[in-house]
A and B are shown apart, each in its own frame.
Chain A
Amino acid sequence: MDYLLNNLFDTEDNGYTALYNSISDVGIITPILTLKTPSGETKIVDGAKRHKIALEKKIECPTKSITTSPDNTKLEIKELCGILLSSHYNRIKSSITNQVLFISIIQDLNLSKKEITTIFSNTLDIQFHPAVYPELGRIARLPHPILKFAHQKRLSYKQCLNLAHTAPDCMISILSLAPEIQISASLAIELSHYCHQLQFDKITDNDAVAKILTQHLSPSQKSQHIREALFNECHPTLTQTNAKIANSLSDLPNSLSSHWDTSLENKAITLNLKLEQADELSACANTLNSPVVHTAISRALEYL
C-alpha cells in the first residue's frame, strides 16, 4: 500500500525510533487512515510509519478508510487536507520542495487554486500567488535527485523554479559531483546553462571539467576552476578581449594596479596607487603622467 505523501522528504528527525519503541510497548492505538482514490488505488493518508512498523513486527494495524470519489463534497476533501496538514505540519512546512509536492498531491483531489491558497495561507501561513500554480507542476515533476537537493538546501520557490528550467539529466550530472565539488543552487544553475550553451548532455562530457576533477584541489577550488573553465569556453570573445586589456595594462609600473569591468559593459579603468611614504607622491605623479602609462591606458580603453 502506497503512502499518499510518499514523495515528500522527511525532516531530519522523523521520530521513527521513539514510535517503534512505543508500539513495541503498547501496540498501535490510533488507527491509520487510508484513502481510496478516484482511480481505485488505496493510499495511506496518515500513519505510514505505524503501517511500516506493523508490517515489520507482524502485528495488527487498525485502519480507518476514507473513500473519495467524484461525488465527494469539497467539505470532505478539505477535511482530508486538514488531517494531512495537522499530521504532517512540520514535514510540509520544512521546505518549499515539500510544500510544492504537497500542493501537487492535493491538486489531484480536485481542489481549486483558490481553495488550495486558502488552506495554505490559513494553516501554514504560506502565500503562493495564483499565478505560480502553473509552474508548481514543473517543480513537482523534477527527478528525485534534484528535488532532494532542493529540499536539503531549503531552496526558495524561485530557485526551485530555476532548477526546473534546466535540463534534468545535465542537472543530475552536476549534482552528482558533490561532495567532490562544492555546489550551491546558483552554481548548479550557472553550470547547467554553460553545459546547455556548449551543448553537453552531462557536465563530465566536458574535457576541461573531467581534467579538473582529477586534480588535487579542495572541493571549493574545484568548483571555482570548473566555473571559470566553462565560463571561458562559453565566452571566447570576452576572454580574448580581457586578455588583450590585461596585456595592454601589463606595461603599468608596479606601483599602479588596475581594474576594469570584465563583462566589458562599462568603459572605465580604475587605477589604484600604492604609496608607502608621503614623499613618494611627486614621483607617482610623474609616473601617472608618463607616456608609458598613457599608452597603456589608451590601448586598454580602446578594447573597452
Chain B
Amino acid sequence: MSKPTPHYRDGKGKITTIPKQGETMDTCATISDKYICCNVKVLKSVANCPFDCSYCFLQNYLNDGRTKVIDDIPAIMEEVIEKCNAQPWRLFRIGTWELGDSLALETQTGHARALIQEFAKLPNAILELKTKSDEVDPILGLDHQLKTVVSWSLNSSYIIDTEEHKTASLEQRLTAMKKVADAGYLVGAHFDPMIRHDNWKDEYEEAVKGIFESAKPEQFAWISIGSMRFNPEMQGKMKNNFPGNKLLFNEMVKGDDGKLRYVKPHRVEMYQHLINCLKKYGGENLFTYLCMERWDMWEKLMEYQPRSIGELDYYFAKSMVERYPSANWPSPNRDDYILYQDT
C-alpha cells in the first residue's frame, strides 16, 4: 500500500483542544458487578497520554491518535457541581486519569491547577490526580483545602524502566511525592499493575519502602493493589508495538470481565507480599484496597470484606471522614452507599 499507516503513537506529541460535548463525569469504565470495584468517578477531560507503557489499553482503545484536552474547566465544573449537589450525603472521589495522565501535560494545560482550586470549594468531593510523572511544581503552592489527593501509579524499578516508557523513574516519582506531601496534600499510591519478573519481591518491597520515606503513613488517603490485566486483543497490539516484549509470556487466564490476568495463585502471592510490605513499612492503619478482584480475594487477603461496590465506596468515605475530620466531609451512611451504588 502506498499510503503510510498512521501509528498510534503519532498523536502523543501534540495537544488538540476540544470543547466539552455531552457528559464528562462518569463512573470508572472498568466497573463490573462481577468484581468489588471502588466506584470512583472520572472526568474524561483528556484522551491520550505522552507516556508509552507497553501494557496500556489506550493502544487498543483510541482510534484517532490525537491527544485531546477539553479546554473548558467552567463547563466541566458546572457538571461536577450539579452531580455532587444532587447527592449531598455522598463523598465523591473524582479522578482525571481515565484516558490519560492527570499531571503529565500540566505545564501545557494548567488543568490540574484550575481543578484543585475549584474542588477546594466543594463540600463533598475529592479530586484525585493520578500520574506517572513528576510534574508537581505547578500545583505546590495552591490552597487545596485537603480536597485533592495526588496519587502515583507505582511499580518496581525494573517495570518502570522496561515497560513504562517515557515516564518518570521510581526515584523521580517518590521525590515528587515528597514535594506534594510536604505541601500538605494527601497522597495516594497505586501498585497497579503489579507484574511478575525476576526479583519482583525485593523490587516491590523497595518501592513500598520508598513511599513511606516520601510521606508519612497518615498522609496516604488510600493505597490500591492490582495486577496486570488486558483484553485479549491487546496481545496483538503489544506484540506489534513492543516487539520482543516478555509480558505475554506469563500464565494468564480470562476473567469474568473478558480480560486476561495472572492465574489466581500468582495474584494471591503477589498481593500478599505487597500487603505484608505495606504493614511492615507503613503500619496497620492504612486504607488499602484491591482493584478489580472478586469477593473471595478480599476474604483471603484483606482485613475488611466489602460485599458490594457500594459497600467499598462507603468504606472509602468512612475512612476519609474519620481520618481527616478537618475537611468536614458528610458522615457516611452505609445503607445509602449500597442503595445508590449504581448512580
Pick out which of these stretches binds chain A: B15-23, B107-115, B232-240: B232-240
Q: Decide if B254 is an interface residue (CB 8 Å cutoff).
A: yes
| Most B Cβ at <10 Å: residue of A138, A140, A238 | A238
Those 4 A-B pairs whose CB atoms lie nearest each other, nearest first: A165-B236, A267-B296, A131-B63, A263-B253
A residues near B296, Cβ cutoff 8 Å:
267, 304
Could you tell me which A residues sit within 8 Å of B by CB distance?
Answer: 104, 107-108, 110, 131, 134, 136-138, 140, 161-162, 164-167, 193, 196-197, 199, 234-238, 241, 263-267, 304
CB-defined contacts of A108 to chain B, threshold 8 Å: 1-2
Known: A131-B64, A265-B294. A137 touches B253 (CB 8 A): no
A272 shortest CB reach to chain B, Å: 22
Tell me which residues from 1 to 21 in chain B have a Cβ below 8 Å from any Cβ of chain A.
Answer: 1-3, 5-6
- Nearest A residue to B266, CB-CB: A237
CA distance A97 to B199 in the complex (A): 46
- CA of A266 to CA of B264 in the docked complex: distance in angstroms? 10
Residue numbers in A under 8 Å from B2 (CB-CB): 107-108, 110
User: Given A104-B1, A165-B235, are A237 and B251 neighbors across the interface (CB < 8 Å)?
Assistant: yes
User: When the two chains form their complex, are residues A140 and B263 in contact, meaning their CB atoms are under 8 A apart?
Assistant: no
Answer yes or no: B29 CB below 8 A from chain A CBs.
Answer: no
Residue of B with least CB distance to A302: B300
In the complex the two chains form, is A137's CB within 8 Å of B239's CB?
no
B340, CB-defined interface residue at 8 Å: no
| Complex CA–CA separation, A304 to B256 (angstroms) | 15
Q: List 18 other contacts, CB 8 Å, given A110-B2, A167-B239, A197-B249.
A: A104-B1, A108-B1, A131-B64, A134-B5, A134-B6, A137-B1, A165-B237, A165-B240, A196-B239, A235-B253, A237-B263, A263-B253, A263-B254, A264-B264, A265-B264, A266-B256, A267-B294, A304-B296
Q: Is B75 an interface residue (CB 8 A)?
A: no
Known: A134-B6, A162-B236, A264-B263. A140 touches B253 (CB 8 A): no
Q: Are B248 and A197 in contact (CB under 8 A)?
A: yes
Q: B265: CB under 8 A from chain A? A: yes
The smallest C-beta distance from B233 to any residue of chain A, in angstroms, reads: 8
User: Which residues in B have their C-beta under 8 angstroms from that of A110?
Assistant: 2
Smallest CB–CB gap between B250 and chain A, Å? 8
A-B contact pairs, 7 of them (CB 8 A): A104-B1, A110-B2, A134-B6, A161-B236, A164-B236, A165-B235, A263-B263
The residue on A at minimum CB distance from B63 is A131
Q: A233 to B86, alpha carbons, bound, how many Å?
A: 54
Instruction: Report the Cα distance A136→B255, complex, angstroms.
Output: 30
Q: Let me know if A265 and B248 touch, CB within 8 A.
A: no
Q: Which residues of B contact A267 (CB under 8 A)?
A: 294, 296
Name the one of B6, B235, B239, B251 contacting A235, with C-beta atoms under 8 angstroms.
B251
Complex alpha-carbon distance, A43 and B25, angstroms: 56
Residue of A nearest to B253 (CB): A263
The answer on a CB contact under 8 Å between A265 and B256 is: yes
B264 to A165, Cβ gap below 8 A? no
Point out the residue from A107, A138, A165, A234 that lies within 8 Å of B251, measured CB to CB. Answer: A234
Contacts of A167 in B (CB 8 A): 239
Which chain B residues numbered 209 to 258 have a C-beta less than 8 Å away from chain A?
233, 235-237, 239-240, 248-249, 251, 253-256
CA A266 to CA B35, docked complex, whole Å: 11
CB-CB under 8 A from B254, the residues of chain A are 263
Bound form: Cα–Cα A30–B247 in Å? 59
The A-contacting residues of B in range 21-69, CB under 8 angstroms, are 63-64
Q: Is the CB of B249 within 8 A of A199?
A: yes
Q: How far is the CB of B182 from chain A (nearest CB, A)?
A: 43
Bound CA–CA A193/B248 (angstroms): 9
Contacts of B6 in A (CB 8 A): 134
- In the bound complex, residues from chain B placing their C-beta under 8 Å from that of A265 are 253, 255-256, 264, 294
- In the complex formed, the residue of B with least CB distance to A190 is B232
On whether A238 and B251 interact (CB within 8 A), knowing A165-B235, A193-B235, the answer reads: yes
Say whether, besides A104-B1, A165-B237, A264 and B248 are in contact (CB < 8 Å): no
Q: Is the beta-carbon distance between B1 and A241 smaller than 8 angstroms?
A: no
Q: Is B237 within 8 A of A196, CB to CB?
A: no
| Residues 256-298 of chain B, each 1 if its beta carbon lies under 8 Å from chain A, else 0 | 1000000111100000000000000000000000000010100
The chain B residue sitting closest to A104, CB to CB, is B1
CA distance A167 to B243 in the complex (A): 11
- The residue of chain A having its C-beta at the shortest distance from the C-beta of B256 within the complex is A265
Task: Indicate with 1 or 0, residue by residue over B180-192, a CB within 8 angstroms of chain A CB atoms.
Answer: 0000000000000
